[in-house]
Amino acid sequence: MESTVWSCGSGHANRWRWLLMAIVAIMLASVVPVSGTLAQEATETTETPDVVIPGTGDEGDQPADSTPEAASEVTPTEEPPADTEPPASTTSSVIQISATDPGNPAVLAHGLAFLTDEQVVWQVREVEPATGDQAETVISNAAFAYQVEGTSVIRNDVTGKRALLDPGEAYFKAGGDTYTTFAGSAESLIWIFEVVGPSEVEADAFYESPLIDDYQEGVFDLLMVRYVLEPGEMTTLPDHTGPALVMSADGDIDIESGGLGLLATGDGQLIIEDATVTNNSENPAVFVMSAFGSDVGDETSSTGTASPETTDDPAPDTDTATDAETDTEAETTAEDPVTTEEPEVADPPATDSGDTGASGSQTSINITAEAELYVVVVADGVTVFDGPIPDGGESGVIVGSTFEVYTSYGVGTLFTDACGNEFYMGYQEGEANYILQADENSCAP
C-alpha cells in the first residue's frame, strides 16, 4: 500500500515538475524579445540629438527635456508661443548708421559752386524755420543747411523736390535756386554756411570769417565734412582748395595750424595750412569742415557752353521753368525750349514809337543779375564785358548789332533792351549762351 501510494505521489510530482518547466520555458521565451526591445530603446537614447542654432526656426523641433552636452554652452532658447514667429537672431539685426555716430570723416553734403577771384568771407547764420505759410522762401547762394536741433523740410521751389533733415544732417543749396524751409518739429534750428561778399554779410550771422582774397576763379566741388572725435582722439584735415572753414558743432576742440586755436560750440576758424584737430576734453566733440575741393572743368557741362563763342544752347530742364513776362515772339518757355542745334535769335521786343537807329541795325542791351552771375558779352565780335555780376547788379548799357552772351546761370539773367522792355532768353539752371540780333524793329540805342 505504501509503495502504491508513493508511486502515485511520484507521478504527481513529475507532472508538476514538467508543468513548472513549461511555465519557465514560456517565461524565458517572452523575456527574450522584451529584453531586446529594452536594449534597442537604450541604444537610441544614447544618440546625440541635433544641436539647435538659435534664430533658425528649429527650436520647435528640439525635445523640451534634451540638453545635449555639445550645446551645453549655448543659451537655451525659450520655445515661442504657437501663434508667434520665432525670435530673430541678435546677429541678424539691422545696423543703423546715423550722422551723429562716432566716425570720421563723413561727407554730409556737397555740390558745385562758382568762385570768383574777388574778396569774400564765410558767414554762418542761425535760422529757426517756421511752419505752413510762415515758412521763409529765399533765393540762395551756394550754401549748406546744417540741422542742429529738431527736424526740417527743405523744398527746392524750382524743381519741387524736398529733403528731410534730422540733427547732424546737411543739405546743399544750389546758387540761384529758390528754396522754402519748413520746420518739421517744434524746436527746429539750422545753421546756414555760405560764402558771400564782405558787404553782403547778413545781420543774423553769428560767425564772419576774415577776408579771403586767394580763392581761384572757377567751378569747384563744395563739401561739408563731419568729424566726431572721442576724448584724446586726433585727426588730420584733408586737402582743399583755398581756405577752409572749421566750426565746432558740439564740444571743445583744439586746432593746430601754424598756431593753436581753441574752439567751443559755435566757434569757427579759417584753415589755410595743413591742420590737425584734437579733442582734449572729456566728452566726444563734433565739428564740421566746409571747403572747396576739386576744380570741375567744362568738359562735363552742357553741350555748347564751353566758351562764349559757341552758338549752341542746351535744352532747359522743363521741371525748372519759372514764370516770366515778355512780349517777344522769340521767348523760350518750358513748352518751347531753346533748340540744341541752331538756337533762335531773340530780338529785343519791338516798339511802336518808330524810334530806330539811322541804319535800323543797332540797339542796346543791359543785363541784370537775379542771382550771382558770371557774364561775358561779345558785341559785334568784340568782348565788351567779361566778369562777375553780383545778385541785383547790372552789366551797364552795351550797344551793338549782334550780341553773343555767355552766362553762368540762364534763368537768373534778365535782359533790358533800348526800349526799356525786360525779357529772359531761357530758363537754364546753369551755364547758357544766347545770341541777340538787332533789326529794323529794334529801338535805337
Cβ pair 157, 177 in contact under 8 A: yes
Claim to verify: residue 158 and residue 141 sit in the same structural domain = yes
d(CA 235, CA 188): 30
What's the start-to-end Cα distance of the chain, in Å? 173
| Residue 100 domain flag | no
Claim to verify: residue 372 and residue 261 sit in the same structural domain = no
Q: What is the pLDDT along the chain (445 residues), one digit of tens a residue?
A: 444 444 444 555 556 666 677 676 666 555 544 444 443 444 444 444 554 444 444 444 444 444 444 444 444 444 445 454 444 433 333 434 344 544 568 889 999 999 888 899 999 999 999 998 899 999 999 999 999 999 999 999 988 899 999 999 999 999 989 999 999 998 999 999 999 999 999 999 999 999 998 898 889 999 999 999 999 999 988 888 899 999 999 999 999 988 888 999 999 999 988 899 999 999 999 999 999 988 887 777 654 444 444 334 444 443 433 343 333 333 333 333 333 333 343 444 443 333 333 345 799 999 999 999 999 999 998 888 988 899 999 999 999 999 999 999 998 999 999 899 999 988 888 889 999 998 888 888 8
Give the pTM: 0.49
Looking at residue 54, the DSSP 8-state letter turns out to be T
Query: What is the model's pLDDT at position 86?
Result: 44
Claim to verify: residue 12 and residue 131 sit in the same structural domain = no
Claim to verify: residue 281 and residue 320 sit in the same structural domain = no
> Quick one: 84 exposed, middle or buried, by C-beta within 10 A (0-12, 13-18, 19+)?
exposed
d(CA 165, CA 151): 5
| Residue 431 domain flag | yes
Give 228's Cβ-side CA count (13 Å radius): 12
Task: Find, among 261, 239, 241, the residue nearest to 252 by Cα.
Answer: 261
Residue 416 sits at φ, ψ, to 5 deg, of -130, 125
Claim to verify: residue 294 and residue 342 sit in the same structural domain = no
Q: Which residue has the cell 569757427?
A: 268
| Residue 70 domain flag | no
Claim to verify: residue 350 and residue 277 sit in the same structural domain = no
Residue 213, Cβ neighbours under 10 Å: how many? 9
Cβ pair 209, 123 in contact under 8 A: yes
Claim to verify: residue 364 and residue 404 sit in the same structural domain = yes
Residue 378 sits at φ, ψ, to 5 deg, of -110, 115
Q: Which domain holds residue 421?
A: 307-437
d(CA 125, CA 144): 11
Residue 7 sits at φ, ψ, to 5 deg, of -65, -40
d(CA 436, CA 137): 33
- Report CA dihedral (287, 290, 295, 301) to the nearest 10 degrees: 120
Claim to verify: residue 253 and residue 318 sit in the same structural domain = no
Claim to verify: residue 271 and residue 327 sit in the same structural domain = no
DSSP string, 243-257: EEEEEEEES-EEEES
d(CA 95, CA 111): 28
**The three-state (H, E, C) secondary structure of 208-244, written as one string:** ECCCECCCCCEEEEEEEEEEEECCCCEEECCCCEEEE
Claim to verify: residue 294 and residue 352 sit in the same structural domain = no
Claim to verify: residue 34 and residue 122 sit in the same structural domain = no
| Residue 280 domain flag | yes
Claim to verify: residue 181 and residue 211 sit in the same structural domain = yes
Give 237's Cβ-side CA count (13 Å radius): 31
d(CA 180, CA 162): 9
Amino acid in position 432: A
Domain count of the fold of the chain: 3
